[in-house]
Chains A and B, each alone.
Chain A
Amino acid sequence: MKDLMDKIGFPRFIITVFLIGLILLAVFLKIPLPGLITDILVRFGMNAILVLAMVPAVQSGIGLNFNLPLGIVFGLIGALVSIEFKLAGFKGLLVSILIAVPLAAIAGYFYGKMLNKIKGQEMTVGTYIGFSVVSLMCIFWLVAPFKSPELIWAYGGNGLRVTVSLESSIGHILNNLWHFNIGKVVVPTGLLLFFALCAFIVWVYNKSKKGLSMRVAGSNEKFALSNGIDVDRERIIGTIISTVLAAIGIIVYSQAFGFLQLYNAPLYAAMPAVASILIGGASLHKAKIVHVIIGTLLFQSLLVVALPVINIISEGSMSEVIRTIISNGIILYALTRTGGEEA
C-alpha cells in the first residue's frame, strides 16, 4: 500500500480514491453514466489546452504561469474581431486564432523579457500582472470600438456585453466536428483532435534540439550557460509559447462553452489550470504532456461527477466550493514541498 502510494504520489492517490468513491455513489444514486462520461470528455477537451500552456512555462524555468490571463485576453480579442466581421464556422475559428496568436506572441515576448529581470519571483509578480491585465482590459471592453449587435448591449449601456453568445458564430464548432456516439456517449472528436494536435506540436518541439536547450535552461541555469545556451532567450521562448497556448486555449474553451466571458471572468483562470497540471504529477520545476492529460482528466472528472452527486445529497452550490478547495489545496501542497519536488 505504501509503495503504491509513493509511486503514484499522495495527492493523486487521495483524488483517485475520492473520484472512485464519487463514481460508486453516482452509480448507487442511479445517475446515468453515459451523460457523465460525455461531460468528462467535453470538459477535458475544453480545458486541456489551457493546462498545456503550463508545460513550456515550467520547462523553460519561469515556473507555473499564473499570468495565463495575459494570453486569454488576446484570445478573447481574436474571437471578438472575428465576430465583428461576421465570420462563422471554421473560418471564424481560424481567423480568431490567427489574430490572437501574433498578439499573444508579442505580449509573451515583453512579459518574458520582464520575467528575466525578476528571476525567482515569477509566480507572485505574474499573479498580480495577470490581475492588472484583466482589470485594465475591463476598461478596454467598455470603450472598445465594436459595432456588431451580437457584441454590444441591445439597449443603451456602454461597451461590450458581459457574456457574448457564440451560437451564430463559432459555438461548438470543434465539438460537433466528426462527433459520433458509442452507445449513449457522445465523443467530441474534433475537440479532442485539436488538443492532440496542440499537444503533438509541443511534444515535437520538446524533442527537437531547440526544445532540449529550453529544458536544459529551465532545469539548470549554470549548466545551460556553460554549454553556450542563452538562458534568457530560452525563458522568453517558453513564455511566448505558454501565452500563445493560453490564447488558443480560451478560444477552444469558449467555443465549447458557447459563450465568450469578458470583464472579470478571466481573473482566476490560471488557478484551475495550475491545479490540474499539479494533480497530474508536475512540480514547480518539472512538467510533461502526460501530466497535462492525467491531471486534466482527474480534475475535470472529479468536478463533473461531483456536481450531480452533491446536488442530490446536499443543497447549495457545493461543487464550486469543492473546486476552490481542491484547486487551491493542491497548489498550496506544491508550494510547501521543500525544493519543489513532485506534488
Chain B
Amino acid sequence: MIVPIIFLILGVVGFLFTGLPLKFLMDEMVIRLARNLVLVLSLIIPVITGMGLNFGIVLGAMAGQIALIIITNYSIGGGLGFLLSIIISTPIAILFGFLVGRVLNKAKGKEMITSMILGFFANGVYQLIFLVFAGSIIPIKNKSLLLSSGVGLKNTVDLAGITYSLDRLIPFGKYPIATLLVTLLLYLSVNYFLKTKLGQNMRAVGQDMHIAEVSGINVDKTRITAIIISTVLAAWGQIIFLQNIGTMNTYGSHEQVGLFAVASLLVGGATVDKASWKEALIGTFLFHFLFIVSPLAGQNLMNNAQIGEYFRVFVAYGVIGLALLLHAWEKDKSKTSLSDI
C-alpha cells in the first residue's frame, strides 16, 4: 500500500500549492475518472493471466479509432453513431487481440517488451494506412477528413457528431452519469467473469503455466482469450474517452493510451502479476489527481508551468520503470533463495 500513499501525499501537497477550489478539482476528477476507467480496466485480465502489463492495448485503442473514423466518414452522429462505433470496433478489436495473443504466445516470458514493441509496430502500420492509403487506395467519402492534397487523414478529426453522446445521455448538468453507469457495469462484468470457469482458468494459467497445462487447460488459447477481452475493452474505452474529449488526434490519441493506463494501474498499487478493480479505481484517481495538480503547482512553485508538465510525464514513465524494477527485483530474490536451499 506504500505506492498509493506516496502519490496521495504528493497530490495533496501539490494541491495546497495550486490554490484551486476543492469543488473544481472534484468536478474535474469525476469527468476524468469517467473517461479513463474503462481503459485501465482493460489491463486487469492479462495481469491475472500472467502476461504482465499489456502495452498492446494500443491496438485496442486503434480499433476504437478506426470505428470512429468510419462513422465520421459516413457522418453518423449522436447516440446511434456512438452505438455503431462500439459495434464496428468490436470485431476489429477481436481480430487485433487474436493477433497480439498469437505473437505473445511466441514470446513467453518477454510479453511486456514484446507487447510494447508490437504497439510501436502497429502504430507504423496504422500510419501507413491512414496517412498514405486513405484517399488514394481506400476511398474516403467525407472530404473534410482528408488533407488538402487529398491523400491521408488530417491530424485532427472533429468528433462533434458524437461528443458527449454517452456522457450526457442521462442529463445531469455536466456530470457524465451514463458513462459512470456503463463503467460500473463493465467493472461488475469483469469481476463476475473472473469467477466463471474461464476466469478461474486464467488465474490458474497466471499462477503456473505448466501446472495449468498438465491439469488440462489449453494455456495458449486461454492466453489469447485474455488478450482479446483486453483489446475489446480498450477499444470501447478509447471510444468513451474520445466522445468526452470531442476531437481525435488521428496519429497521437492512441499512442499515450498504454502509458497512461499502465501508470494509473501501477500508481494504485498493482504489480506486474497482481491487479484488481480496486487498484484500477484508486490508481486512476491518484494519477489524474496528480495530472491536474502538477502543472499548476509547478507554475506557482517554480514560476514555470512547463516543469510541472514534464514532471507528470516523468511520473508516468518513472512509476512504470520503478514498478517493473521492484517486481523484477522481488522475482530475482526469490529465485536466489530457492536455489540456495
Q: Which A residues fall within an 8 A CB radius of B?
A: 66, 114, 117-121, 123-125, 127-129, 131-132, 134-136, 138-139, 142-143, 158-159, 271, 314-318, 320-322, 324-325, 328-329, 331-332, 335-336, 338
Contacts and interface: CB of A to CB of B under 8 A. Distances in A.
Q: Number of contact residues on B: which range applies?
A: 35 or more
A128 B132 CA distance: 31
B19 to A, nearest CB: 22
Given A142-B307, A314-B132, A131 B321 contact: yes
B258 to A, nearest CB: 12
B70 interface: no
Given A132-B314, A321-B132, A332-B103, A142 B121 contact: no
Interface in B295-339: 302, 304, 306-307, 310-311, 313-314, 316-318, 320-321, 324-325, 327-329, 331-332
Contacts of A318: 128, 131-132
A316 B313 contact: no
B73 interface: no
Contacts of B136: 314
Contacts of B127: 320-321, 324
Contacts of B124: 321-322, 324-325, 328-329
B324 A328 contact: no
Interface of B: 103, 106-107, 109-110, 112-114, 116-118, 120-121, 123-125, 127-128, 131-132, 136, 147, 149, 151-152, 302, 304, 306-307, 310-311, 313-314, 316-318, 320-321, 324-325, 327-329, 331-332
B114 A336 contact: yes
Nearest to A121: B328
Contacts of A114: 325
Given A316-B149, A328-B124, 6 more contacts: A124-B116, A136-B314, A324-B123, A325-B128, A332-B117, A336-B107
A221 to B, nearest CB: 12
Contacts of B131: 316-318, 321
10 contacts: A117-B328, A117-B332, A121-B324, A121-B328, A128-B324, A132-B321, A142-B310, A316-B147, A331-B117, A335-B110
A332 B132 CA distance: 23
A328 B103 CA distance: 14
Contacts, number: 128
A316 B146 CA distance: 12
B260 to A, nearest CB: 13
A139 B114 contact: no
A54 to B, nearest CB: 15
Contacts of B151: 314-316
Nearest to B305: A158
Given A135-B310, A158-B306, A318-B131, A332 B118 contact: yes
Nearest to B304: A158
A139 B314 contact: yes
A72 B107 CA distance: 29
A271 to B, nearest CB: 7
A58 B234 CA distance: 35
A324 B121 contact: yes
A328 B121 contact: yes
Contacts of A132: 314, 317-318, 321
A143 B132 contact: no
B328 to A, nearest CB: 4
A335 B306 contact: no
Contact of B328 (A120, A127, A328, A336): A120
B128 A128 contact: no
Contacts of A143: 302, 307
Contacts of B112: 124
A331 B123 CA distance: 14
B310 A139 contact: yes
Contacts of A118: 325, 328-329, 331-332
A328 B332 CA distance: 28
Contacts of B327: 121
A57 B67 CA distance: 43
Contacts of B116: 124, 127
Given A118-B329, A324-B120, A336 B306 contact: no
Contacts of A123: 110, 113
A143 to B, nearest CB: 7
Contacts of A119: 332
B314 A138 contact: yes
Nearest to A138: B310
Nearest to B320: A128
A33 B136 CA distance: 29
B106 A117 contact: no
Contacts of B325: 114, 118, 125, 129
Nearest to B116: A127
A328 B120 contact: yes
Contact of A124 (B113, B120, B302): B113
A132 B311 CA distance: 10
A135 B317 contact: yes
Given A118-B329, A121-B324, A336 B103 contact: yes
